Amino acid sequence: MDNKKVRVRFAPSPTGGLHLGGVRTVLFNYLFAKQHKGDFILRIEDTDQTRYVPGAEEYINETLRWCGLSPDESPAVGGPYAPYRQSERKPLYRQYAEQLVLSGHAYYAFDTPEELESMRERLKTPENPQPQYNHKIREKMRNSFSLSEAEVKELLANNTPHVIRIKMPADQEMTFTDMIRGEVTFNTGQVDDKVLLKADGMPTYHLAVVVDDYLMKITHAFRGEEWLPSAPVHILLWKYLGWEADMPQWAHLPLILKPDGNGKLSKRDGDRLGFPVYAMNWTDPRSNEFTKGFRELGFLPEAFINMLAMLGWNDGTEQEIFSLEELVNKFSIDRVHKAGAKFDYEKAKWFNHQYLHHKDNESLARLFAPVLEEKGVKAAPEYVATVAGLVKERCYFVNEIWDHGFFFFEAPAAYDEAAVKPKWNADKAAFFAAWAEKLDDVSAFTAPELEASFKALAAEKNIKMGELQLPFRIMLTGGKFGPPVFDIAATIGLTETRTRIAKGVAAFNS
């Protein structure tokens, strides 16, 4: 394995939106591959056609594009081991399932759905509420063990619907080394005889993942810890097919947990607690159910990726902000935690705030442009960039530039008069009238020059600056908020500043 080129894969089923746990699996695959100068493969595991959802594969591709985690090989990109969509590889799998039957490691099962249901009902007990099709009952069912060779041949010749199941050993201890968890041991007697090939000729995940990993020369398999119980089946398949020497190294990633740490984070938890768990917006075409995503909420892809990297991994230091390039350089599988990682939405927002705050103003202006377009506001890109620079420190998301800076684009429709009127008087009204006239004399309409002019007139009129700045702010913004008041005035310009002063004075005098 050490001499082989590293090849890893992300192999999702196209059944819906992509959970943030799935994107983290992509990320860890990608980081490992790039660090070792290897290949990252996207393989679509669509063998279960009953669960296939139109648009889901396109959604997965778009998510990876948005995150900047482009595969080296995929259905869209192609590659030397195409096709990368399992439904297009269907003819490949039966030969391996039949090979397992011939070697005695798998068998034909002709049980109907009704017979299977009858078995489950008949054998159900309080201690065993979901009886499994395993070594204890296989000989009592309609399969190669309970039927004669002649009966089996006749059923096959008549194209009788059947599946092929793996024959799990009755009581065998199996141990393998997980890159994250160390040695993991299972007893095969606790695992049922999984279906490998379905009645429609499609492989199940168990057979397809082993065959495809072998044929695509996958060297390392990263997947969620919920797949640990399936590991004995997969390891035996590698052995039974004669490929044990080529079996990839396994790494079962920790779960992403609910904020309280009590169980795996689900879409239902996000709906209940008010945050997304999908990478992007997703509308299920079957139910029309809408699920919000991180992208549309305003998360920057680089912040989203950084946040995911820290869910179950760190580099051993206090550093929390990493570019993708830094993650590639510093990622190591031995720093991935065994325990689940609690998802903290406030922390996720913090990551986005950090990236937004340090993003250049021109980029923010481009990202904010769709918000302005939606509101019917036209503004020069340079102006929008200036506004973004003034308010971004207060923003967690790009669309909040509007919330914190709407007054740069439209004059206030109302004023917080209660904050001004108790201390408003004729002297203050006269000050603003006079200062509005003097604005023509300011050498440059900049924040420092405006503040100097404002201070000078306040001193001349013997009025404290503090008593004047709040009314001025409310004239410009409508309330007690916004960036430094002279920056606001300098940005909206002479004419607009003078207009807002006049309107504000009239409102406070009324």
- CA gap 306, 24 in Å, rounded: 10
Burial of 171 (0-12, 13-18, 19+ CB in 10 A): exposed
Average pLDDT, the chain: 95
Three-state secondary-structure class, residue 290: strand
CA atoms within 13 A on the CB side of 52: 13
Q: Contact at 8 Å (CB) between 325 and 276?
A: no
| pLDDT at site 436 | 97
Is the pLDDT score of 3 beyond 80? no
Tens of pLDDT, residue by residue over 392-412, are 999 999 999 999 999 999 999
Tens of pLDDT, residue by residue over 87-143, are 999 999 999 999 999 999 999 999 999 999 999 999 999 888 889 999 999 999 999
Q: Contact at 8 Å (CB) between 366 and 382?
A: no
| pLDDT at site 432 | 98
Q: Contact at 8 Å (CB) between 20 and 224?
A: no
Neighbours of 228 (CB within 10 A): 15
Q: Where are the beta strands (DSSP E) in 268-353?
A: 282-283, 290-291, 341-342
Tens of pLDDT, residue by residue over 496-507, are 999 999 999 999
| pLDDT at site 404 | 97
This prediction's pTM: 0.90
Q: Which of 217, 267, 359, 421 is the catalytic position?
A: 267
Three-state secondary-structure class, residue 203: strand
- The set of residues, in sequence order, having a beta carbon less than 8 Å from that of 254 and lying 6+ positions away, is 180, 225, 312, 336, 337, 338, 339, 340, 341
Residue 47: pLDDT band with limits 50, 70, 90: confident
| pLDDT at site 50 | 85
- The set of residues, in sequence order, having a beta carbon less than 8 Å from that of 285 and lying 6+ positions away, is 53, 54, 55
- CA gap 158, 146 in Å, rounded: 18
Going from the C-alpha of 294 to that of each of 66, 288, 291, 358, the distances in angstroms are 11, 19, 10, 19
- CA gap 176, 169 in Å, rounded: 16
| pLDDT at site 285 | 93
**Mean pLDDT, residues 415-439:** 97
Tens of pLDDT, residue by residue over 449-493, are 999 999 999 999 999 999 999 999 999 999 999 999 999 999 999
| pLDDT at site 167 | 97
- CA gap 299, 286 in Å, rounded: 27
39-42, strands of its sheet edge to edge: 39-42, 7-10, 220-224, 249-253, 173-178, 182-187
Residue 49: pLDDT band with limits 50, 70, 90: confident
Residue 5 designated active-site:
no
Residue 2: pLDDT band with limits 50, 70, 90: low
Tens of pLDDT, residue by residue over 240-296, are 999 999 999 999 999 999 999 999 999 999 999 999 999 999 999 999 999 999 999
- The set of residues, in sequence order, having a beta carbon less than 8 Å from that of 327 and lying 6+ positions away, is 27, 31, 305, 306, 309
Is the pLDDT score of 1 beyond 60? no
Bridge-based pairing state of the strands 39-42 and 195-197: unpaired
Instruction: Give the burial string for 410-419 (b: 16+ CB within 10 Å, else e).
Output: eebeebbeee
Residues listed for the chain: 510
